[in-house]
Structure 1
Amino acid sequence: MKYHLVTLGCQMNQSDSERVKRVLDGMGAQWTDNESEANIIGILACSVRQKAIDKVYSKIALWNKRKASQNLITFISGCILPADKTKFLKLFDIVFAMRELPQLPQMLSQYGITTPAGLERDNLNPKEEINFFWQVKPKYNSAFEAFIPIQNGCDKFCSFCAVPYTRGREVSRPSHEIIDEVKNLVEKGYKSITLLGQNVNSYGLDKKGEEITFAQLLDEIGQIGAASNHRFWVYFTSPHPRDMSREVIEVIARYDCLAKQIHLPIQSGDDKVLIKMNRKHSVKKYRESVDAIRELIPQATLFTDIIVGFSGETEEQFQNTRKALKEFQYNMAYIAMYSKRPGAASYSWPDDVDLKIKKERLALLSEDLGEVSGAYNEAMVGQVFPVLVRDTDRKSGYLSGQTEGKITVRFESDNRTLIGQIVDVKITSASNFSVEGELVEVAAKVG
């Protein structure tokens, strides 16, 4: 019995896929890269983006055709809107919420697949179910990079976003489980660990008095790094500007293992658009957080998310976003053209910015980003940076990696044993979104 899993969307879905694989492995199924060989095929969907949903329909159409000549069971989970779920129930054999993952063996057994006795999870509420889900040990996709979910769901209800309707309200994972997982990964020699959540810096707020805060969680993890001889970097994504406290920034500055890279989504540089987006922060509040980052962690790189062409966005409001991008000097911005999503509050609003204008605004912001990120990269030339080698590069005879600040670096080497290691690279040239260098030496491998 072989299985194949297609994962769409964000890093949270990627992390969830590692737990799905663990459950299927525990049933005795074997992973295959070739989906045509699989007897069980699953997909982790993303209702946040229409392109991802379109891919789901394309995949299931092919899989259902195969059922005429092959025994095949299909399932779907991930971020799914109620409207999409209703449609998927008619197309997939099994549709389940990710928090119900521990019940997957029971679900599959109904289709004649012999599995070990499943755990009884009847009459559990969503918060209890997600706790059982977190107890499933992940099958990490990498030997040096791992993702740790610390929270599920969202309470922010941004008007453009469907996540509260796909993943539910915020639930914080028990901190002792998170800390234990970090310790385990450090002991195994992992170099990059990312804490995941829809709003990581609101961690613990749903369990006031029962759980530590996000700043305290980072401090606990920082102490693990301080007590270890092993070199590793801890990232987190995504925080919300409303909950970004000075205390969190102070903790990051205090510990070497807490990566000096901050992903802080702004979405728009105009206050009226932010109000319409229900972002619950102003440009002034956002600026205060960035000022604190520049003061306390001057070496930190800054990433963000931006939406162009949101419902009713005027040319003046777009220009305010351009001003914000230049003011905050982002190293990277994930820029998306607005598209309506069923379930989000803005779905009923007019999508009144012409597609041609959206594309023009996307291109202008991308040019602005290239200028500011390119200037930062040029300043790296001549300096030596530790780089986590991630893979071979598209350029033949080169390896590719990232600095602690997640700046992409390529350097000449055919030594594949360096993949997963931290090496020192002297930067020799730069472009807008990456740099090139020469290998200096392999950083001391300890821990």
Structure 2
Amino acid sequence: MKYYLLTLGCQMNLSDSERVASVLNAAGYTKADNEEDANLIGILACSVRQKAIDKVYNKIFTWNKWKNKKNLITFISGCVLPADKERFLKLFDIVFAMPELPQFPKMLTEYGITSPMAIVPEPNNPIDEIQLFWDVKPKYDSSFEAFVPIQNGCNKFCTYCAVPYTRGREVSRPSDEILTEVKSLAEKGYKSITLLGQNVNSYGLDKHGEEITFAELLEKIGEIGEAINNEFWVYFTSPHPMDMTDDIFHIIAKYKCLGKQIHFPLQSGDEKVLIKMNRKHSVEKYRETMQSLRRILPQATVFTDIIVGFTDETEEQFENTRKAMAEFKYNMAYIAMYSPRPGATSYKWEDNITLDEKKRRYAVLSEELQKHTYEYNKSLIGKTLKVLVREQDRKPGYLSGHTDGKIVVRLASDNKELIGQIVELKITSAARFSIEGELVEKTVSC
């Protein structure tokens, strides 16, 4: 029997999908190349964005029509709000929360009949359930890039965000398990490892001193890198400004295996909007942390997240966000037009910024971002940089990858053996969101 898995949303869902694949493979299923060839089709959903939920409905309506012609079981998991889950119970054969993944094979014995087994009850002990999930060994989709979950859930309750209602409160994975997984990946030759969590830098705080801090976790990973000959880069996402401390930057500066790229979400550059978002940090606090970052890690690139058109955002408040972008000169910004999500606090508020205005503000910030990305990328011309080659580029005869700072790089080559390797390139040209280089050294990293 063949399965097909559609993954929507963030890197956490991608990581979760590797564990779903592992469970299905162990149960005797094989992966189908496309959904048409599968007898079991599932989605890892994302209730955080309306577009992702719309795609779920489009897909399930199509798949349910296929049931008239062939035997087919459908399931859904991932980040699903309670309101969405109630609707999905009528459309999918099996609906389950991700911590219940170890029970999934048992659910499949019902052959897609929606039953009490398919309806996930409130867990007696959420910590035990998520630990059983982490115990599932993932089937990594890549031979050189991997995601390692270190934490699940969120305690911050930003008013626009549904994550606390889809993943629950913060639970930190035991550090010995994280370190064992990272070491194993590094020894196997993986080149890029990303630590995942809704608020990675609050790691360990839920253990009240019984677990190491996030900075200490990075220190131990850095020590692993020093002891292993293989070259690799470790990243993390997403941190919260409230919990970001200078010792994290000092440790990243100390160890070469810790990637020199920081994802540092701003969301808004206006104080009143941040309060309305319940972000628990001020623009000034963010600025102070950015100054520390630039001082301690001057070579690091900085990525951010920003929301435009949040409820009641005035033109002046939006302008403050544009000014913040101009001040902090990000290397990348993931800009989202605000959309209310059921369950989040802001869902109760009027979504009173028009779509056209949101699009205009999105365009203004995108233009502001490009000024700084282009200037930075031009500054790299003539330099020799290490680059992880990731895939064939859309442009024929080219490969693409990224630097230690996750700047996208293209190189003229059709040598597929370079994919998955770290090579040295001399940068020859720059565009707004990428650079191009020539291979200057045939020897690749071990």
Pairwise TM-score range, normalised by the shorter structure: over 0.9
Q: Deviations over 1:170-205 (max 9, x none)?
A: 000010000000011011000000000000000000
- 8 A Cα contact 2:123 2:129, kept in partner: no
8 Å Cα contact 2:423/2:445 also seen in 1: no
Q: Residue in 1 aligned with 2:250?
A: 250
Q: In the alignment, residue 247 of structure 1 is paired with which amino acid? A: D
Q: Displacement, 1:228? A: 1.2
Q: Amino acid of the residue matched to residue 381 of structure 2?
A: V
Q: Distance in 1 between matches of 2:124 and 2:317?
A: 46
Would you identify which runs of 4 or more consecutive aligned residues in structure 1 move more than 2 Å? 121-124, 442-446
Change (3 A) 1:209 1:183: same
- Aligned partner letter, 2:132: F
Cα distance per residue 1:21-74 (max 9 Å; x no partner): 000000110001111111111100000000100000011111111111211111
Q: Does 1:171 align with 2:171?
A: yes
1:214 equivalenced with 2:220 (yes/no): no
Q: Secondary structure at the match of 1:363?
A: helix
Does the 8 Å CA contact 2:370/2:433 hold for their aligned counterparts? yes
Instruction: Give the unaligned 5+ runs of structure 1.
Output: 114-120
Distance in structure 1 (CA, Å) of the matches to 2:123 and 2:276? 39
Letter in 2 for 1:160: Y
In the TM superposition, what whole-angstrom CA distance separates every residue of 1:230-283 from its partner, at most 9, and x where no partner exists? 100000000000000111111111110000100000000001000000000001
Cα deviation for residue 111 of structure 1 reads 1.8
Q: Aligned pair in 2 of structure 1 residues 85, 123: CA closer, same or farther (>3 Å)?
A: closer
C-alpha offsets along residues 150-169 of structure 1, whole Å, 9 cap, x if unaligned? 00000000000000000000
SS of 2:395's equivalent in the other structure is coil
Who is 1:37 aligned against? 37
Which residue number corresponds to residue 23 of structure 1?
Answer: 23
Is contact 1:186-1:232 (8 Å) kept?
yes
Whole-angstrom distance in 1 between the partners of 2:138 and 2:102: 12
Alignment partner, residue 312 of structure 1: 312
SS in 2 for 1:146: strand
1:104 positional shift: 0.2
Residue aligned with 2:247, SS: helix
For 1:253 and 1:423, the matched residues in 2 are separated by: 21
User: How far apart are the structure 2 equivalents of 1:354 and 1:63?
Assistant: 34
| Distance in 2, Cα, partners of 1:110 & 1:393 | 44
1:300 maps to a residue whose letter is A
State the distance in 1 between where 2:59 and 2:359 align: 28
| Per-residue Cα deviation, 1:315-336 (whole angstroms, up to 9, x for no partner) | 1111100110011110000001
Amino acid at match of 2:352: D
2:376 is matched with: 376
1:390-420 per-position Cα deviation (integer Å, ceiling 9, x unaligned): 0011111011010000000001001000000
- What is the letter of the counterpart of residue 318 of structure 2? F
Report deviation, 1:81. Answer: 0.3
Q: Secondary structure at the match of 2:218?
A: helix
Q: Which residue of 1 aligns with 2:79?
A: 79
Give the Cα separation in 2 of the matches to 1:122 and 1:176. Answer: 28
Equivalent-residue separation in structure 2 for 1:166 and 1:123 (angstroms)? 13
Does residue 149 (structure 1) correspond to residue 149 (structure 2)? The answer is yes
Report the 3-state secondary structure (helix = DSSP H, G, I; strand = E; otherwise coil) of the residue aligned with 2:228.
Answer: coil
Aligned to 1:117: none
Helix, strand or coil: the match of 1:61? helix
Contact residue 93 and residue 112 of structure 2 kept, 8 A: no
| Correspondence for 2:195 | 195
Instruction: Please state whether the residue corresponding to 2:139 is helix, strand or coil.
Output: coil
For 1:430, the aligned partner's letter is A
Equivalent position SS for 2:86 = helix
- Cα distance in structure 1, aligned partners of 2:303 and 2:240: 13
Which amino acid is the alignment partner of residue 100 of structure 1?
E
Residue 441 of structure 1 deviates from its aligned partner by 1.3
Structure 1 counterpart of 2:277: 277
Partner-residue secondary structure (3-state), 2:103? helix
The AA in structure 1 aligned to 2:26 is G
Q: Deviation of residue 445 (structure 1)?
A: 2.8
Is the alpha carbon distance of 1:80 and 1:123 closer, same or farther for their aligned partners in structure 2, counting shifts above 3 Å? closer
Q: Which moved more, 1:352-361 or 1:237-246?
A: 352-361
In structure 2, the partner of 1:56 is 56
CA contact (8 A) 2:20 2:101 kept: yes
Distance (whole Å) between structure 2 residues aligned to residue 111 and residue 340 of structure 1: 35
Quote the residue 1:116 is aligned against. none
How far apart are 1:443 and its partner, in Å?
4.5
Number of residue pairs matched by the alignment? 439
Given residue 296 of structure 2, which amino acid in structure 1 is its aligned partner? L
Cα deviation, residue 124, structure 1: 4.3
Letter in 2 for 1:181: E
Q: Deviations over 1:335-357 (max 9, x none)?
A: 01111111010001111112111
Quote the residue 1:204 is aligned against: 204
Residue 139 (structure 2) aligns with: 139
TM norm structure 2:
0.97
Q: What is the root-mean-square deviation of aligned Cα atoms in Å?
A: 1.3
Residue 129 of structure 1: aligned partner: 129
Tell me if structure 2 keeps the 8 A contact 1:408–1:435. Answer: yes
Distance in 1 between the 2:232 and 2:123 partners? Answer: 41
Aligned to 2:69: 69
Q: How much has 1:289 moved relative to structure 2?
A: 1.1
- Equivalent position amino acid for 1:425 in 2: L
Q: Could you list the per-position Cα deviations for residues 55-96 of structure 1 after superposition, in whole angstroms to 9, with x for gaps in the alignment?
A: 000111111111112111110000000000000001111100
Contact map agreement 1:422 1:443 (CA 8 A) in 2 = no
Question: For residues 192 and 413 of structure 1, what CA distance do their matches in structure 2 show?
Answer: 21
Aligned to 2:385: 385
Unaligned 5+ segments in structure 2 are 114-120
Distance in 2 separating the partners of 1:346 and 1:443 = 53
